[in-house]
Chains A and B, each alone.
Chain A
Amino acid sequence: GAVVSQHPSWVICKSGTSVKIECRSLDFQATTMFWYRQFPKQSLMLMATSNEGSKATYEQGVEKDKFLINHASLTLSTLTVTSAHPEDSSFYICSARLGTVAGYTFGSGTRLTVV
């Protein structure tokens, strides 16, 4: 089946630094990938839709200058959290869709802790 690889699985960074999270579709091409954020005991909230070769579409309330998304190839999307602050600490998950809506596959997630 379709596999989405996300890296790193966890990262600790200092406040003010930037962190890059990678999401790769391993055995299929994904023109669209999705980035979600999950706070403890909360739902997965869609942050942005990443489109290969074009600008990402951000959900309302998500700062595009803070959460930079690049989808440079059909198998790789990256999320960079710029000038990270403790409130950015969260669980970030990417997803890609293969075929029908039932074909959503999720990465294993990245636990970001900003200290």
Chain B
Amino acid sequence: DQQVKQNSPSLSVQEGRISILNCDYTNSMFDYFLWYKKYPAEGPTFLISISSIKDKNEDGRFTVFLNKSAKHLSLHIVPSQPGDSAVYFCAASGGNTPLVFGKGTRLSVIA
């Protein structure tokens, strides 16, 4: 049973446009959500996070939106750049539990 779901395995976006990556979760005990960026043969690197007490967190070109009632979060990247091309993982945590990851979405930003 997958507690964190990223239903889009891939996404292609033109440079300069907005990239929207989606993530759904099922466990209502999750109270902290994170997005990681991963290049092939490398470990994930932290991108941005959001606590369940907020509905939006912004950091430069990256904004994460949380809709608790829908158990849905999304990562917006604007404007998208070719260097943003990578696999993006959504992760969730509840209390002191280890992170639970989605399957990832491969973003390709086309110049």
Which A residues lie at the B interface, using CB under 8 A?
Answer: 4, 6, 9-10, 34, 36, 41-46, 49, 91, 93, 95, 101-102, 104-109, 111
Contacts and interface: CB of A to CB of B under 8 A. Distances in A.
Nearest to B49: A102
A101 B93 contact: yes
Interface in B62-111: 89, 93, 98-104
Contacts, number: 55
A6 B32 contact: no
Interface of B: 2, 4, 9, 32, 34, 36, 41-46, 49, 89, 93, 98-104
Given A9-B41, A49-B98, A104-B34, A43 B89 contact: yes
Given A41-B103, A102-B34, A102-B49, A109 B43 contact: yes
A96 to B, nearest CB: 11
A93 B43 contact: yes
Contact of A46 (B9, B98, B102): B98
B83 to A, nearest CB: 19
Given A43-B4, A46-B99, A101-B34, 18 more contacts: A4-B43, A6-B43, A10-B41, A34-B99, A36-B101, A41-B9, A42-B103, A44-B89, A44-B101, A45-B101, A46-B98, A46-B100, A93-B44, A102-B32, A102-B46, A104-B34, A106-B43, A109-B42
